[in-house]
Amino acid sequence: MLGLSRKAVLYGSASIIFLILVVSLTPITSPLPLYTGPYEVGILDLETEVKRRTIHPATLKETGNKAFELETLAITIYYPSALPSLRSQPWARPWLPQPVSLIGTGYARLIGIKFAPLQSVVTFFLWALGSKTVIPGVVDAPVLSVNPDDVEDLGEVVNKVGMGGKVKGQNNIQEVLELRDVSNGPRLGQETEKLPLVVFTHGMAGMSQSYSHYLGSIASHGYMVAAVEHRDGSGPGTIVHSANGDERYVWHMNLEDLESNPPLSSEDLKTVQLNFREAEIQETISLFSRLNKGSSEHPIINLKPKSPESALSGFKDRLNMSAVTVAGHSYGATGALQALKNAPNKDMPINGAIMLDPGKGSGPLNDKIELPTLVMQSGGWTEKQVEFYGQGWHFDVVKKLVANTSIGWFMTLKGSAHPSCTDAPLIVPWIMRLATKTTLNGRVALREYIDTSVNFLEFLRDGSKKGLLREEVSSPAGPLGDAEKRGEVKGPHGAEWEIHVVPKE
Ligand SMILES: *[C@@H]1O[C@H](CO)[C@@H](O)[C@H](O)[C@H]1NC(C)=O
Ligand SMILES: *[C@@H]1O[C@H](CO)[C@@H](O)[C@H](O)[C@H]1NC(C)=O
């Protein structure tokens, strides 16, 4: 036993030395590109107390504590900010959640490594790949406002974030707003128009940070985007910060980690996790509703350590609570669908959904949807078909579900793979190309996803159909039909799409 662990330590330190060499000799990571829309993006990590409840009584074998206890809500908010266009890469925060060891240990546990020194190797690997990457954006920037009086301290903010002191004082505010064309409202049209919301839910083994370019870009087009950091045991690791200062770690959970009477099946576990996610989505929407009402008696307290909150007061009366769209990737898309079960209603005033690669093994998909829906699948996801919970091929199940919504689009971006909507293809492009065999450039794939998502969100706002939303069906049966009936259409950045379902009219 001792010999074995000695070997592992040796193996571990050799890998570390090797990795240091690799990392120092080759530029293996690329910086994240700037967002695609006209607005500068503000970012906030927010954790708030919610009404404490147990989603399921199962406990953890490791600690004996309840496994599915909802205590706080953690989200990352990306929002359009009142700041003028910044000349250089703006001040931002690290892409990897801190501490890195939390996520490193989390991923190690996720792939079954229980041995601490080996967990450190995983942490090192993550650190090596991710520590130089920063998320573009300005932490705690003032939210986009239609009224220049609301941003009288703009000059101060601009100085604070170190933009070279080019924009100073109140006199320049008009100039600043004109620079960004905010006074004319390029996207937000009417002076009274409020920011629509997007609530995003991540995939299995994902984190709320993993989609920063996709989500930040949507925000840069004039949307308030909240990425939920799920505490359902599907991510690598997360820390719950209680109001009394306590910290609780939530690691990735497998069936064997849980104690329950009667025991949970793997399908039960998914149901419990999806219920947990649904509760977090609901809490996100009610948090926004509170921020929109703005209360000085019960201000929102940010429990996330070292994370500011001063921009939150600017959210008052700025959010359009009747324009809430849910979006998700993979397991998250399945979760977003579940959240639509009884929507729209008072607690879930949802107007539509965006789903990226809806889960193949995350439980049956809710098909009772009466809201506009956009499903975008990666080429890899569409090509590889599986029998889906006795309902037929996954492709057909998704197709029927979309056709049955009041208004729905279902399309496939050719040459892309399951992780194409995450930041991974931007940060480690060649690793992703090798691992996923994509033929479409990673940046192009993301721009296609972003533009089509923004077109759909604009459709929800004003009924206009732009870009791919105007196309006819080109490939009704996708991978299940004849090869010659799989037509393609060109996307806004030259990529090829197959269109499977469009709204009937
Ligand atoms: C809120 O969103 C709805 C639905 O998109 C839209 O009809 C309405 O005009 C928006 N209201 C404001 C104040 O922006
Ligand atoms: C689609 O809607 C029709 C009519 O409302 C219904 O009979 C059918 O079961 C639905 N199909 C699915 C997959 O939900």
Tens-digit pLDDT profile for residues 98-112: 888 888 898 888 888
Has residue 26 got a pLDDT over 70?
no
In tens, the pLDDT along 54-66 reads: 999 999 999 999 9
Which residues are marked as active site?
330, 357, 418
**Whole-number percent of the chain with pLDDT over 90:** 59
The residues, ordered by sequence, that sit 6+ positions from 295 with a Cβ below 8 Å of its Cβ are: none
Structure tokens at 323: 């324009």
The ligand minimizing its distance to the Cα of 190 is 1
Residue 343: Cβ-neighbour burial (10 angstroms; 0-12, 13-18, 19+): buried
Smallest-distance ligand from the CA of 197: 1
* Euclidean distance between CA atoms 212 and 35, whole angstroms: 9
d(CA 13, CA 10): 5
Site to probe by mutation for ligand 1, drawn from 190, 194, 195, 324 as the one with most ligand atoms within 8 Å of Cβ, is 194
Of 151, 148, 207, nearest to 183 (Cα)?
148
- Report DSSP state, residue 309: -
Cα–Cα distance for residue pair 264/422, rounded to 1 Å:
31
> Who wins on pLDDT, 130 or 464?
464
The answer, yes or no, to whether residue 186 has pLDDT greater than 70, is no
- How high does pLDDT run on average in the chain? 86
Confidence of residue 3 (pLDDT cuts 50, 70, 90): low
Which residue in this structure is represented by tokens 């496994």? 67
Structural domains of the chain ordered from first start: 29-80+135-146+188-501 (3.40.50.1820)
403 CA → ligand 2 middle, Å = 9
- Planar angle of CA 42, 288, 241, nearest 5 degrees: 80
Report the pLDDT value the prediction gives residue 166, as an integer from 0 to 100.
35
pLDDT at 163 over 70: no
Residue 205 confidence class, pLDDT cut points 50, 70, 90: confident
Ligand 1 pocket mutation, candidates 316, 322, 462, criterion most atoms within 8 A of CB: 322
CA of 153 to the centre of ligand 1 (A): 28
Cβ(322) to ligand 1 under 6 A?
yes
Best of 341, 394, 396, 404 for a ligand 2 pocket test (most atoms within 8 Å of beta carbon) = 404
Please provide the size of the chain in residues. 505
Output the pLDDT for position 121.
86
Tell how far CA 22 is from the center of its chain. 30
Would you say residue 164 has pLDDT above 50?
A: no
Q: What are phi and psi of 240, to 5 degrees?
A: -90, 120
pLDDT for position 152? 44
Residue 179, pLDDT score: 42
Report residue 130's pLDDT band, with 50, 70 and 90 as the boundaries. confident
- From 343, 357, 427, select the one nearest 386 (Cα to Cα): 357
250 Cβ contact partners less than 8 Å away, ≥ 6 residues apart: 231, 233, 235, 237, 238, 239, 240
b/e code 208-242 from CB counts within 10 Å (16+ = b): bbbbbbbbbbbbbbbbbbbbbbbbbbbbbbbbbbe
Q: What is the pLDDT of residue 149?
A: 52
Least confident range from 108-117, 144-153, 188-197: namely 144-153
Closest residue by CA, ligand 2 atom 9: 404
**Nearest ligand atom owner, CA of 224:** 1
Name the closest-CA residue to atom 3, ligand 2.
Answer: 404
What is d(CA 370, CA 422) in angstroms, rounded to the nearest whole number? Answer: 28
Mean pLDDT computed over 171-187:
41
pLDDT digits (tens, 9 = 90+) for 266-306: 999 999 999 999 999 999 999 999 999 997 777 889 999 98
Structure tokens at 341: 């079960």
What pLDDT score was predicted for residue 306?
A: 87
Question: What lines the ligand 2 site, CB under 6 Å?
Answer: 367, 400-401, 404
| 343 alpha carbon – ligand 2 mean position (Å) | 17
176 has a pLDDT exceeding 50: no
Residue minimizing CA distance to atom 2 of ligand 2: 404
Q: Which ligand is nearest to the CA of 396?
A: 2
Q: Each residue of 74-94: pLDDT tens digit?
A: 999 999 998 877 666 566 688
205: left (phi over 0), alpha (psi -120 to 50) or beta: left
Segment 449-458 shows an average pLDDT of: 97
- Compare 401 and 187 and report the one with higher pLDDT: 401
Q: 387: buried, middle or exposed (CB in 10 Å: 19+, 13-18, 0-12)?
A: exposed
SS (H, E, C) 427-478: HCHHHHHHHHCCCCCHHHHHHHHHHHHHHHHHHHHHCCCCHHHHCCCCCCCH
pLDDT value of position 9: 61
Determine the pLDDT at residue 12: 61
CA of 405 from ligand 1 middle (Å) equals 21
Mean pLDDT value of segment 403-418: 95
Q: Whose CA is nearest to atom 8 of ligand 2?
A: 404
Between 289 and 13, residue with greater pLDDT: 289
What is the reported pLDDT for 168?
A: 32
Residues 340-349 have a mean pLDDT of: 81
Q: Please identify, by atom number, the ligand 2 atom nearest to the C-alpha of residue 404.
A: 1
Contacts of residue 179, defined as CB under 8 A and 6 or more positions apart, other chains included, come to 84, 85
What DSSP assignment string belongs to 85-99? PPSS----EESSPSS
pLDDT value of position 296: 75
Measured in Å, residue 389 CA sits from the centre of ligand 2 at: 17
Write out pLDDT tens, residues 228-271: 999 999 999 999 999 999 999 999 999 999 999 999 999 999 99
Give the phi and the psi of residue 54 in degrees, each rounded to 5. Answer: -100, 120
For the ranges 74-78, 147-151, 321-325, which has the lowest average pLDDT?
A: 147-151
**Average pLDDT score over residue span 189-193:** 55
Cβ of residue 323 lying under 6 Å from some atom of ligand 1: yes
Note the maximum CA span of the chain. 72
Whole-number Å distance, alpha carbon 367 to ligand 2 midpoint, is 8
